[in-house]
Structure 1
Amino acid sequence: MTLTLDLAKRKERSPFIVQTVFLGVGLACLLLAPLFFYPVFLMKLLCFALFACAFNLLLGYTGLLSFGHAAFFGGAAYFTAHAVKEWGVPPELGILVGVFGAALLGAVIGFFAIRRQGIYFAMITLALAQMFYFFCLQSGFTRGEDGIQSVPRGHLLGVIDLLQPTNMYYFVLTVFVIGIAIIWRIINSPFGMVLKSIRENETRAVSLGYSVRNYKLAAFVMSAALTGLAGGLKALVFQFATLTDVSWQMSGEVILMTLLGGIGTLIGPIFGAGLVVTLQNYLATSEFPVTIITGVVFMVCVLLFRRGIVGEFYNSRLGRKLGFEHRHKH
């Protein structure tokens, strides 16, 4: 009996050890990445990876497809850029301004959107996001089509000069890790379990006494706030905020990243964002049209990897053996 229990504990501990090793290797690669790659490219990748993970919190774990997440990403970029440049606040407070602004925007849009389901929910988010886009186009503080340019990065905690690319990269990496840790904590909490139950069977969740509408709104606001974290970082990295950040194409890109990587997986959107950003970066100076190449890659992944790249790996024999089984239904 004792031997059986010991074997069972070892079997449960093995996937945890493997996943911890993967996590450690991933962090080591990120820490050493500036030695081999251009820091600005890496920072862009981390910003969009966090954006995709925040979006996946809503789509992959709650089952809500939003076509308007660019409003939170670009809105936070504008809020952060304005606070840092016009108000003279330090970068860390500027990012918090972006996060709270995106959360407030998420509460307003989510309040109306969650009253509908399916395609109607998606269309409402798209419509309200387009309204925000035209607000940004006409508003004075966004500078219209010119955007907010020459945003100062400032000094982190009044000491660390973020104009230095290496300093800025490790700041972005730290915020990225914090954001991913928050998402991991949410999806592995009792709150996250309720979100998954809503995704799988909303009617049953209602019958169990859960206030589904409140849970959906909370998930929507959390996703918006974390998206704002990515948007605020992006504004500091590139030192500008433009209408591109709030356009519907940006919402389409994050959906593409999440689908390519794997819906309902924690690291899938990171891989998807890495793939899309890398294609955009290395094909930008070539004669190949980036959108067509990205579309071809998406078609191939849809045909061959129905669960996304990481999702298919999780469901493979090797993935299940390593403890990465993916149970999300499509």
Structure 2
Amino acid sequence: MSNLTTDADTAHFDLPSDRGEGHGRSPLRWLLLAAGLAVAVALPWFVYPPIAMDILCWALFAIALDILLGYCGLLSFGHAAFWGGSAYATGLVAVHYGVPFPLAVLAGMLFAMTIAVPIGYLSVRATGIYFAMVTLAFAQMIYFIANQWRDVTGGENGLQAVPKTFFGIEAVETEAFYFYYAALPMILLGMWAAWRIVHSPFGRVLVAIRDNSPRARALGYDVERYKVIAFVLSAGLAGLAGGLFAISHGFVSLQEVNWTTSGKVVLMTVLGGIGTLWGGAVGAGFIVQLEDYMASSGFEGIGIVTGSVFVIVVLLFRRGIWGTVAHLVSSRSTRSAGRRG
């Protein structure tokens, strides 16, 4: 027990003081926040708007996964179930009820959280690779249902002609550029919710569970309950991203619930940096832009390139892109503070 970290003790005694203090007032944090907002607002001016929307959706998806992977230590290979499940639910609501797309997306998000409750409850009892395999199995079940329930989902033909209804505002409903700015607040709210989750007492307990589950349990925390809640919250944010992705494309295919989608978001999260939260956004931007560039160039071996990039980053930057930069900045700040001291 001598090598246990103090995260659980911190979660138990010191977390209330973490609200609005220290890190939250760091000038560097505010500067990075302002830079991130500026990039999000300016993105469709420099990137083809549908691609810019894809970047934001995948960024939120990767951030959602990082809540589970980076802060809870649970690797899910089944998050496509929530991304794709929400995409189908959002599309069906939009097609059959004609409601404004924010309401359809919220319906998809609720659907993702609903199916995440039994999946999470059964999955968190496993650990390590067994947890990953259980989540993958459940995701494949969702894929099978989507493929076989053709009268509802369209099967292999997918769900087509998903409308971008938005209170009768034609510019948003027909132009990808304006749709981007209509959807941007929902993405930003999702990212803010993720930040709030990991910087709350609840988030610090998740870190304690990740670092040493028996110690957290000994302190009186219901470990399985915390994991299930984290699983459902992560699924909800993934569902928010998947719903917006479906509305943006006006189409939902089986690809959204395929296991390759789960693998792709894990790739993005690892590339950006596990446990950094914003690293997922960096990884998403990099992968989406790289895939778009190669597809536009007519290159067919996209998987080979992205796989090679993944191997290089894992070997040379084990903390990921954002994680490595953050570590270097933190180390430099610590050395500077030591010299001043």
TM-score normalised over the length of structure 2: 0.88
Query: Which amino acid is the alignment partner of residue 20 of structure 1?
Result: W
| CA shift digits 1:258-310 (9 cap, x unpaired) | 00000000210001111111111000133351100101101110110011111
Query: Which amino acid is the alignment partner of residue 249 of structure 1?
Result: T
CA contact (8 A) 1:75 1:101 kept: yes
| 1:176 paired to 2:187 | yes
Equivalence map 1:120-135=2 (5 Å): 120-135=130-145
| 1:92 paired to 2:102 | yes
Which runs of at least 4 in structure 1 moved beyond 4 Å after TM superposition?
Answer: 12-15, 156-160
Task: Specify whether residues 163 and 21 from structure 1 end up closer, same or farther in structure 2 by C-alpha distance, changes over 3 A only.
Answer: same
Inter-partner Cα distance in structure 2 for 1:194 and 1:157: 45
Inter-partner Cα distance in structure 2 for 1:93 and 1:61: 30
Shift of the alpha carbon at 1:25? 1.9
Inter-partner Cα distance in structure 1 for 2:43 and 2:318: 30
Instruction: Could you tell me which runs of 5 or more consecutive residues in structure 1 were left unpaired when the two chains were aligned.
Output: 1-11, 324-330
Q: Matched residue of 2:152: which SS? A: coil
Query: Which amino acid is the alignment partner of residue 312 of structure 1?
Result: T
Of 291, 300, 305, which aligns to 2:312?
Answer: 300
Q: Matched residue of 1:195: which SS? A: helix
Task: Specify whether residues 296 and 93 from structure 1 end up closer, same or farther in structure 2 by C-alpha distance, changes over 3 A only.
Answer: same
CA contact (8 A) 1:92 1:156 kept: no
Inter-partner Cα distance in structure 1 for 2:318 and 2:162: 41
Name the structure 1 match of 2:303.
291
| CA shift digits 1:99-143 (9 cap, x unpaired) | 000001111211110111111111111111101100000012111
CA contact (8 A) 1:154 1:163 kept: no
Name the structure 2 match of 1:311.
323
Deviates more, 1:203-212 or 1:24-33: 24-33
CA contact (8 A) 2:23 2:29 kept: no
| Identity between Structure 1 and Structure 2 (%) | 46
CA contact (8 A) 1:280 1:290 kept: yes
Of 65, 73, 76, which aligns to 1:66?
Answer: 76
Deviates more, 1:206-215 or 1:113-122: 113-122
| CA shift digits 1:30-58 (9 cap, x unpaired) | 21222222111100000000000001010
Inter-partner Cα distance in structure 2 for 1:213 and 1:52: 23
Shift of the alpha carbon at 1:172? 2.4
Inter-partner Cα distance in structure 1 for 2:247 and 2:167: 12
Task: Indicate the RMSD between aligned Cα atoms, in angstroms.
Answer: 1.7
Of 237, 240, 246, which aligns to 1:226?
Answer: 237
Name the structure 1 match of 2:337.
none
Name the structure 1 match of 2:55.
45
TM-score normalised over the length of structure 1: 0.90
Inter-partner Cα distance in structure 2 for 1:285 and 1:155: 31
Instruction: Could you tell me which runs of 5 or more consecutive residues in structure 2 were left unpaired when the two chains were aligned.
Output: 1-21, 335-341
Deviates more, 1:272-281 or 1:157-166: 157-166
